[in-house]
Amino acid sequence: MSSLYFNLLATLLWLKIFTESTAIFLRKVTGLGFPRATLPESGALVSKSVVITGANRGVGLETAKAFARLGATVMMIIPRTNGSISPHLLLLLYTQVILGCRDLTAGQAALEEIKGCTEEPKYHRNLHLHRLDLASFTSIGAFARQVRQTLQQVNNGGPPQLHYLINNAGVMMTAEERTEDGLELQFGANYLGPFLLTHLLLDLLKAGHDQARIVNLSSISHNAGLMAFDNLNLVGGAYTPLKAYAQSKLATVLWSRQLAKRLPIEQVTVYSVHPGIVQTELYARSVNRFARLCRRLAGPLAFTTAEQGAQTTLYCALEPALAAESGHYYK
């Protein structure tokens, strides 16, 4: 019965994706354009700090560019170019900068691209190396300690503060694999890793006088999600790439709602977002042949660009009107 129910949800999901892609196509051919987040003036976030995961390409890179242009202290966690989620690269712009990766090629290219988006050379100084693996609880703990030390330096020895946390990184419809801690890879990398990172940094988000914001990237695929609470690792033949991906993204939405209920809205707000049907390399690394085929054939016409996909994230992170909202899902 559950298998039939999931197949029904999956069919409805593909219909939703087709509908959204058609709308994107019509906007492109008619020249209607796409909504854009209203950003503050350049330099408006000079005293702010932000952690962004998965910022070497796609939506994460475009998000990092926007924050860097605004003068924020930007920490980007960047996966390797070979598609693995580990290790990751952390970049911090404007004040203390931390980078961590064994393969710096993708990270250096992303850094140079972000430098080109900023007008102030002082945003580029103070680079250091550090390592993070979102599929390793040990690595996440070590990374959180490094963030704490870095932000304390940024605050001239005072209490460390974090103003924005963008949990952007993830994997999509991969082959069945396990994390370092023995968990199903998509559930671990898309949900449990960001969950742990967020809670290790939560006191830093609460420390400031201004309201902090957490933005968790989910997906339209959460509509096909079923929480297998008695088999979260989907062992014993229960695994399919879409089922695991949808479960991880549903978990992200549910966690965002629950976290918002537990945090005072005047201190921290939480949002989960669907960035849209975006032309990114997530599809290229997916083992779902239908998804890869759709990207190859329809991507240029019916998918948004990474910059357009980043607008929902930027809206939730920076829109003043959302200060009174928390726990909602945006698309």
Closest CA to 73 of 136, 165, 146, 7: 165
Here the tokens at position 244 are: 């695991």
The neighbouring-strand residues paired with 164 are: 50, 213
For 75, residues 6+ apart whose C-beta sits below 8 A from its C-beta are 49, 50, 51, 52, 90, 91, 92, 98, 147, 150
Handedness of CA 87, 81, 101, 308 (dihedral sign): negative
Can you tell me the distance from the alpha carbon of 181 to that of 194, in angstroms, rounded to the nearest whole number?
Answer: 15
> Angle formed by the axes of helices 2-30 and 289-302, to 10°?
20
Q: Is 245 a catalytic residue?
A: yes
Q: Which among 94, 191, 245, 283 is annotated as catalytic?
A: 245
Can you tell me the distance from the alpha carbon of 83 to that of 155, in angstroms, rounded to the nearest whole number?
Answer: 35
Closest CA to 234 of 300, 173, 289: 173
CA 165 to chain centre: 9
**CB atoms inside a 10 Å sphere around CB 146:** 18
**Coil vs helix vs strand at 278:** strand
CA distances to 96, 142, 150, 178 from 102, rounded to whole Å, are 20, 16, 20, 21
Here the tokens at position 77 are: 């966690």
- From start to end of the chain, where are the E strands? 49-53, 73-79, 88-92, 97-99, 127-129, 164-167, 212-217, 268-273, 329-330
Residues tagged active-site: 245
